[in-house]
Amino acid sequence: MAIITPSTAAAHDNAPEPQVVLHRIYCRDASLEVPHAPQIFNQQKWDPNIDLQVGTEASAIGNDFQQVTLILTVTAKVENEQVAYLAEVKQAGLFVVSGFPDEAQMNAVLGTYCPTVIFPFARETVADLVQRAGFPQLLLAPINFQAAYAQHVAQAQGVVQPATSVN
């Protein structure tokens, strides 16, 4: 517990408050491959197996600016494991991130909050690409970036996380 006296109050007031401000969201890269077109459109039944790979990257730009990139790779395979399409989207956000007292807190913000803000835009970009390629709309389920980040940190520290169930 910290005791604030008149002499420490002035120092406490001068401490910068942690802040995260979204400056801009943009698509860094987007691609779609349909390796078996047009034959893939002759499928009698459209019930693909969807594989979603998710990654994030963060880099300091300067003056408290951080670029966070959310990378979504979606592979749709039909019944015979033939790839119907492969979509990759790199959706980025430029954030002003300042006032965090330590690197662990900063990394947590960059690994959880920022991707959560970016995800709806990346999801929309994927859906648009897939639909423009002539396939039914694909709506990706929300992602819990806090749980994914916690698992990533635990793996990096060599800690085994017990399996959890969602009710």
Tell me the pLDDT band of 160, cut-offs 50, 70 and 90: low
Using one digit for the tens of pLDDT, what is the confidence trace for 12-26?
556 679 999 999 999
* C-alpha 97: how far from chain center: 17
Using one digit for the tens of pLDDT, what is the confidence trace for 26-82?
999 999 999 999 999 987 788 999 999 999 999 999 899 999 999 999 999 998 889
- The predicted pLDDT at position 15 comes to 63
Using one digit for the tens of pLDDT, what is the confidence trace for 92-109?
999 999 999 899 999 999
- The predicted pLDDT at position 163 comes to 53
**Is residue 95 within 8 Å of residue 69, measured between CB atoms?**
no
Tell me the pLDDT band of 133, cut-offs 50, 70 and 90: very high
Class at the top of the CATH hierarchy for domain 16-156: alpha beta
- The predicted pLDDT at position 161 comes to 54
Q: Give the mean pLDDT of the chain.
A: 88
**Is residue 36 within 8 Å of residue 83, measured between CB atoms?**
yes
Q: What would you measure as the largest C-alpha separation in the chain, in angstroms?
A: 77
Residues above pLDDT 90, as percent of the chain: 72
pLDDT over 50 (residue 5): no
Which sequence spans correspond to the domains of the chain?
A: 16-156
